[in-house]
């Protein structure tokens, strides 16, 4: 053997690279020991076999075409660059390979040389690296998420603190308002209490002087005056107590089921007792029996308030009418008087605390009643409106759901 041939043969035998030589028809003519080991064959088993024997089944047909193409232009190059090439072992398993192709002629016969490199390990390494990268990316995004979470928690904490501050501010504000209210009430009450107290005193001393049987009627009249004054005082006190409770959120509101007509009749009866029949109170329901689920005591207070205003601001002997009807599960109750009415420019202030119209200064009152009524109605998910004409009379109408949503 010539030196160079020997050298090539040595390389062929010892290269740690698979070398397979095939003829133009794709039949294997030689295979080096490394390739034998790679594919798990003895050389003799492969000689004269199609090179496709070493390819997975699904690639064989395509490979024949590619091989013929290469025969026509057999320049050295890598096979399927940037593709993941797979080769088939004798035992049926596959492995990843990189293949370089080359060719030579002997006596005009074309031979194709394939240099085959097992890249399973390298690929595995790359996959591991990719996995690692993926894992790190996952860890990173998890860390980011946690960071976001921490941020959210922090924001929630700040929000909570702000809420607490806001609540505190509101409480202080309420307290301040309550204090103002109380001092205003004290000055108002001391003024408003004076008249009924003076009235009571006068009546009491007059009664003390009536000894004769024929003075019995005069006596009764004074007793009536006392009752009226006491009622005035009670109203003022009740107004204030309700307002105080409302302001402090201490209002005891109990829901119950009741019959509307019965309740209105009851209130009218009470008012007749208090007013000593000064007015005729007439009830005209425009519905059959009507069961409500509402805050009974609030409704009772509202009606008493509206009725006592009606009586207070209209002449004795006049009529006060109460109407009730239902419209789409809403109850409407109207209290109508034929009294003083409300001046146009005062109408917009009617539900403000302590507001009293300029035509009622001679009549006792606190200016709290309607404000309380409105706030009770808020509880009942209802509302109040009124129409009024000076010296003709006023009608206050309340509307609220038949069944309150608790
Ligand atoms: P008060 O009657 O104690 O003054 P309210 O809050 O009940 O307080 O009423 C506020 C004001 O509304 C009254 O002072 C009066 O000017 C006016 N008002 C309320 N009801 C009537 C009514 N039926 N007729 C005329 N004016 C009324």
Q: pLDDT of 305-337, one tens digit each?
A: 999 999 999 999 999 999 999 999 999 999 999
- Please give the backbone phi and psi of residue 101, each rounded to the nearest 5 degrees, phi first: -110, 145
Which ligand 1 atom is nearest residue 360's CA? 16
The sign of the torsion formed by the CA atoms of 79, 84, 89, 92 equals: negative
75 dihedral zone (left: phi>0; alpha: psi -120 to 50; beta) = beta
- Ligand 1 centre from 359 Cα, in Å? 10
Least Cα distance to 317 among 274, 269, 280, 358 occurs for 280
| Least confident range of 49-63, 166-180, 186-200 | 186-200
| Least confident range of 35-39, 177-181, 263-267, 376-380 | 177-181
Minimal-distance CA residue to ligand 1 atom 9: 367
User: Cα–Cα distance between 205 and 198 in angstroms, integer?
Assistant: 11
pLDDT at 327: 93
pLDDT over 70 (residue 1): no
Q: Using one digit for the tens of pLDDT, what is the confidence trace for 346-375?
A: 999 999 988 999 999 888 888 989 998 998
pLDDT at 82: 67
Region 379-396 average pLDDT: 96
51 dihedral zone (left: phi>0; alpha: psi -120 to 50; beta) = alpha
Query: Is the shortest distance between the CB of 393 and ligand 1 below 6 Å?
Result: no
| Least confident range of 14-23, 120-129, 297-306 | 120-129
Query: Is the shortest distance between the CB of 279 and ligand 1 below 6 Å?
Result: no
The answer to whether 330 and 401 have CB atoms below 8 angstroms apart is yes
Query: Is the shortest distance between the CB of 360 and ligand 1 below 6 Å?
Result: yes
Query: Is the shortest distance between the CB of 196 and ligand 1 below 6 Å?
Result: no
The sign of the torsion formed by the CA atoms of 289, 331, 283, 365 equals: positive
Task: Tell me which long-range contacts 233-236 makes (C-beta under 8 A, separation of at least 24).
Answer: 233/193, 233/196, 233/197, 235/308, 235/366, 235/369, 236/189, 236/192, 236/193, 236/364, 236/366
- Ligand 1 centre from 284 Cα, in Å? 23
User: Cα–Cα distance between 367 and 360 in angstroms, integer?
Assistant: 10
pLDDT over 90 (residue 281): yes
- Ligand 1 centre from 128 Cα, in Å? 86
**Which of 3-7, 170-174, 241-245, 246-250 is modeled with the greatest confidence?**
170-174
DSSP 27: B
The string of DSSP codes covering 81-120 is: TTS-EEEE-TTS-EEEEEEEEEEEEETTEEEEEEEEEE-H
DSSP 358: G
Which ligand 1 atom is nearest residue 368's CA? 6
- Ligand 1 centre from 309 Cα, in Å? 6
> In 3-state terms, what secondary structure has residue 75?
coil
- Ligand 1 centre from 92 Cα, in Å? 103
194, 196, 200, 201 alpha-carbon torsion, rounded to 10°: 20
To the nearest whole number, what is the mean pLDDT of the chain? Answer: 89
pTM above 0.95, yes or no: no
Task: Tell me which long-range contacts 10-13 makes (C-beta under 8 A, separation of at least 24).
Answer: none
Q: Using one digit for the tens of pLDDT, what is the confidence trace for 164-191?
A: 999 999 988 888 877 877 777 777 777 6
Q: Using one digit for the tens of pLDDT, what is the confidence trace for 115-145?
A: 999 888 888 888 888 899 899 888 888 888 8
Residues of 217-254 as b/e, b for ≥16 C-beta within 10 angstroms? eebeebeebbbbbeebbebbebbbebbeebbeeebeee
- Rounded (5°) CA angle 229-233-174: 165
- Ligand 1 centre from 24 Cα, in Å? 116
- Ligand 1 centre from 237 Cα, in Å? 16
Residues 6+ apart with CB under 8 A from 6: none
Mutate to test the pocket of ligand 1, among 242, 312, 354, 367 (most ligand atoms within 8 A of CB): 367
Query: Is the shortest distance between the CB of 364 and ligand 1 below 6 Å?
Result: no
**Which residue has better confidence, 257 or 121?**
257
Region 16-30 average pLDDT: 94
């Amino acid at each position: 053997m010539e030196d160079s041939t020997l050298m090539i043969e040595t390389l062929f035998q010892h290269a740690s690279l698979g070398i397979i030589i095939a003829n133009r028809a794709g039949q294997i003519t030689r295979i080096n020991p490394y390739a034998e080991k790679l594919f798990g064959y003895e050389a003799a088993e492969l000689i004269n076999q199609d090179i496709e024997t070493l390819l997975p089944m699904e690639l064989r047909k395509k490979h024949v075409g590619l091989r013929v193409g290469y025969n026509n232009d057999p320049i050295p190059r890598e096979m399927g660059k940037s593709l993941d090439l797979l080769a088939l072992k004798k035992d049926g398993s596959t492995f990843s390979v990189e293949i370089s192709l080359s060719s030579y002629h002997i006596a005009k016969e074309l031979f194709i040389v394939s240099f085959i490199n097992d890249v399973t390990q390298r690929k595995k390494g790359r996959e591991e690296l990719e996995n690692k990268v993926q894992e790190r990316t996952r860890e990173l995004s998890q860390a980011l998420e946690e960071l976001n979470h921490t941020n959210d928690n922090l924001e929630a904490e700040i929000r909570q603190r702000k809420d607490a501050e806001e609540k505190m501010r509101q409480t202080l504000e309420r307290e301040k308002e309550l204090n103002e209210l109380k001092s205003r009430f004290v000055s108002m009450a001391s003024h408003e209490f004076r008249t009924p107290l003076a009235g009571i005193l006068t009546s009491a001393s007059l009664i003390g002087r009536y000894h004769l049987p024929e003075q019995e009627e005069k006596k009764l009249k004074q007793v009536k005056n006392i009752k009226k004054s006491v009622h005035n005082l009670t109203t003022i006190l009740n107004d204030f107590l309700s307002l105080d409770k409302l302001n402090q959120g201490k209002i005891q509101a109990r829901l119950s089921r009741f019959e509307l007509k019965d309740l209105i009749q009851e209130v009218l009866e009470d008012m007749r007792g208090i007013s000593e029949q000064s007015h005729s109170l007439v009830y005209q329901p425009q519905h059959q029996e009507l069961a409500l689920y509402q805050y009974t005591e609030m409704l009772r207070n509202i009606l008493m308030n509206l009725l006592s205003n009606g009586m207070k601001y209209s002449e004795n002997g006049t009529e006060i009418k109460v109407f009730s009807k239902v419209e789409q599960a809403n109850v409407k109750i109207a209290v109508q008087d034929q009294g003083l009415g409300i001046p146009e420019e005062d109408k917009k202030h009617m539900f403000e605390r302590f507001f009293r119209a300029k035509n009622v200064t001679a009549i006792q009152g606190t200016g709290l009643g309607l404000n309380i009524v409105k706030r009770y109605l808020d509880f009942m998910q209802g509302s109040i409106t009124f129409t009024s004409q000076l010296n003709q009379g006023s009608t206050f109408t309340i509307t609220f759901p038949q069944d309150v949503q608790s």
